Structure 1
Amino acid sequence: MNSDGTQFLHADVVGPVDGNDRTAVLLLHGFTGSTATMSNIAGPLSESRRVVAMDLPGHGRNGAAADVYHYGFDRTVNAVADTLGNLNAIPTHVVGYSMGGRIALALAIRHTDVVASLTLIGASPGLSNPIERSARRRSDDELANDLL
């Protein structure tokens, strides 16, 4: 269980676990992705270091939560940190794509002890303009409804 009482996130862990002092790498997928999205990256990296590919809430093998409370941004960031701690993978190099990149950025800011380095792919810190942010939220809500 996480510190907030929810389950740890599903993670695929590959590569050397013992006898290798190289820092692990965490791979975080984008919206509608899963650990499978990162398999092409995980394979080569796992030859020399431990790689953790994590399914974010509502994605991959984490499945759908009964309560939208489990999908909150802050809860997701904390769940990633808690899951890494449970896997003894702290500190870690974090690679995040799109939504995973935004989560990775927040992880680096809020959990400085967790992140050894940060690589963001197709990610941004978000929209600062309230009108653009509102339009994006509506668009994201429509996409989410279409997916359900």
Structure 2
Amino acid sequence: MASVMMTVNGLNLHYEIINPRVKKTVVLLHGFTGSSTTWDKVISSMSDQVRIIAIDLIGHGYTDSPKNVEHYSMEKQVSVLHGLLAQRGINKFTLVGYSMGGRIALAYALQYPETIEQLILESASPGLQTIEERTVRVKADNILAERLEKEGIQAFVDYWENIPLFESQKNLPQEIQEEIRADRLLQNERGLANSLRGIGTGQQNSYWDELTSFTKPVVLVTGELDKKFYQKAVDMKNLFQNCKHVVVSKAGHAIHVENPKTFATIIEEQN
């Protein structure tokens, strides 16, 4: 595994690359409060016949956390991702995204469908459908961002790891829970706060109406215990032209963390 820094559109981006000489490529996008390291156990369970690129998204990991919130917008995230892959000469790949990273992956795939071999979305959504829903969410995310800046990263992580969405992670071995917490604590306060302001679900456009025009193969992955995103996936599957929905038993929102071997198998079955 090699750690790489690359400048794209004026931002310093960090990513990990595994099996760089292999042509078949999988690109991994983590979720909010995560980084490229969130995929380590998935990567170690995968074949060495696939090149893997795990990216630190803007405001996360070792990638820049700029002051200007505009750098965190969906448009900027997609543009920077496209620039990074273009610089590496990668124009066909499987794109995998989890939660926030899944929303970015979907936006990217809709804008650059010619680059996508498979799109794998884990616990992700096409956004909120109404302006009213988005307005409420923006207000809540702004309050959360201010709380993060006021109380600091440790207090925020204490809160974040106890929200209902991650309840199933309390069943994981203590060692794994500590690894998840350590990754969150390494994040940058400004990066997380501006991510809430710039790439929160309320800030992005709804992509629900665009799903019907996407023709590339899609796999939606949700955990049996995550009822909210299970239902979102059911609704999305009805709109995509070429889609299957995989439900992982006894897993919650973050399947790749709770059951990395199964998640690795899901990726490899598509390649």
Q: TM class, shorter-chain normalised?
A: 0.7 to 0.9
Aligned to 1:67: 68
**Matched position secondary structure for 1:39:** helix
Q: Distance in 2 between matches of 1:103 and 1:48?
A: 26
| Residue number in structure 2 paired with 1:76 | 77
Whose radius of gyration is greater, 1 or 2? 2
Counterpart Cα distance in 1 of 2:138 and 2:47: 37
Whole-angstrom CA distance in 1 between matches of 2:13 and 2:114: 19
Inter-partner Cα distance in structure 1 for 2:97 and 2:49: 20
Structure with a larger share of its residues in helix: 2
CA offset digits 1:50-80 (Å, max 9, x no partner): 0000011000001321322211110111101
Structure 1, residues 107-134: CA drift from partner, whole Å, max 9, x if none? 1110123221100011000011221111
Q: Tell me if the contact between 1:24 and 1:51 (Cα under 8 Å) persists in the aligned partners.
A: yes
Work out the CA distance in 2 between the residues paired with 1:54 and 1:29. Answer: 8
- Partner amino acid for 2:58? P
Query: Matches of residues 120-139 of structure 1 in structure 2 within 5 Å?
Result: 120-139=121-140
Q: Does 1:14 align with 2:18?
A: yes
Number of residue pairs matched by the alignment:
143
**Considering only aligned residues, what root-mean-square deviation do their CA atoms show, in Å?**
1.6
For the pair 1:91 / 2:92, whether they are aligned, the reply is: yes
Secondary structure of 1:52's partner? strand
Q: Gaps (5+ residues) in structure 2?
A: 1-6, 150-271
Name the CA distance, whole Å, in 1 between partners of 2:47 and 2:28. 12
Name which of structure 1's ranges 27-36 and 111-120 shifts more when overlaid on structure 2: 111-120
Runs of 4+ in 1 over 6 A off after TM superposition: none
> If the length of structure 1 is used for normalisation, what is the TM-score?
0.88
Shift of 1:143: 2.2
More off after superposition, 78-87 vs 36-45: 36-45
TM-superposition CA deviations, 1:65-96 (whole Å, max 9, x none)? 13222111101111011111122232110110
Taking the aligned partners of 1:144 and 1:42, their CA distance within structure 2 comes to: 31
Rounded to whole Å, the distance in 1 between the matches of 2:84 and 2:44 is 21
The CA deviation string for residues 11-61 of structure 1, in whole angstroms up to 9 with x for no partner, is 11012x32x44x200000011111011112122235221000001100000
Task: Structure 1: give runs of 5+ residues left out of the alignment.
Answer: none
Structure-2-length-normalised TM-score: 0.50
- Of 122-131 and 45-54, more deviation after overlay is shown by 45-54
